[in-house]
């Protein structure tokens, strides 16, 4: 589910970019947990470029040429994959991700729901959960112009 569906429209450019990065990050973490670290560095930068090229061809076929999209693929999927492949390529180029090593996942990839909050991510700077607050009681919306959204870092007073 795209972040926009959880927290509404971004109010700043930074929020807009962060929301897309959050969606791409979630996909990358899920795929890393599912497939492991060995498939990306096997063929290095050239292999990643081939994967990106495949995604670009999908974009051209479905968006440019107007072919019907498969039911199981969201419109954003190939674009999110291209973002992640670009990040993976930079990681390989910088030597962070090699055939011999790849930093491990910090935690199992899950999406927990607690008390009206959706745990989405771990803040990489503070190591604290990043919580997206949203109203689950739709009656709250009747008295507001729009859904109030906020990102709140839990613990240690980080805001």
Q: What is the mean pLDDT of residues 83-94?
A: 97
For residues 41-63, give the mean pLDDT: 94
- If one counts the domains in the chain, the total is 2
Domain residues for 10? 3-93
Is residue 106 a part of any domain in this protein? no
User: Distance between CA 26 and CA 147 in Å, rounded?
Assistant: 23
The verdict on pTM exceeding 0.95 is no
Res 71: pLDDT? 84
**Is residue 106's pLDDT more than 60?**
yes
Residue 119 inside a domain? The answer is yes
Give me the pLDDT at residue 145, please: 33
148 shares its domain with 84: no
Strands 129-133 and 117-122: antiparallel
pLDDT at 1: 60
Q: What is the pLDDT of residue 133?
A: 37
Closest by Cα among 77, 74, 38, 28 to 55: 77
Q: Is the pLDDT of residue 142 over 50?
A: no
Do 39 and 81 belong to one domain? Answer: yes
Per-residue DSSP letter, 145 = S
């Amino acid at each position: 589910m795209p972040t926009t569906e959880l927290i509404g429209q971004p109010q700043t450019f930074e929020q807009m970019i962060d929301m897309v990065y959050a969606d791409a990050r979630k996909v990358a973490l899920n795929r890393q947990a599912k497939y492991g670290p060995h498939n990306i560095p096997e063929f290095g930068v050239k292999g990643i470029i081939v994967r990106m090229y495949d995604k670009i061809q999908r974009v051209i076929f479905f968006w440019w040429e107007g072919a019907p999209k498969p039911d199981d693929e969201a419109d954003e999927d190939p674009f999110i994959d291209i973002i992640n492949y670009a990040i993976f390529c930079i990681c390989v180029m910088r030597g962070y991700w090699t055939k011999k090593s790849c930093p491990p996942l910090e935690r199992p990839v899950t999406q927990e729901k607690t008390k009206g909050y959706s745990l989405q991510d771990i803040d990489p700077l503070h190591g604290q959960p990043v919580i997206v607050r949203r109203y689950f009681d739709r009656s709250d919306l009747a008295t507001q112009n729009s859904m109030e959204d906020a990102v709140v870092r839990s613990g240690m007073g980080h805001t």
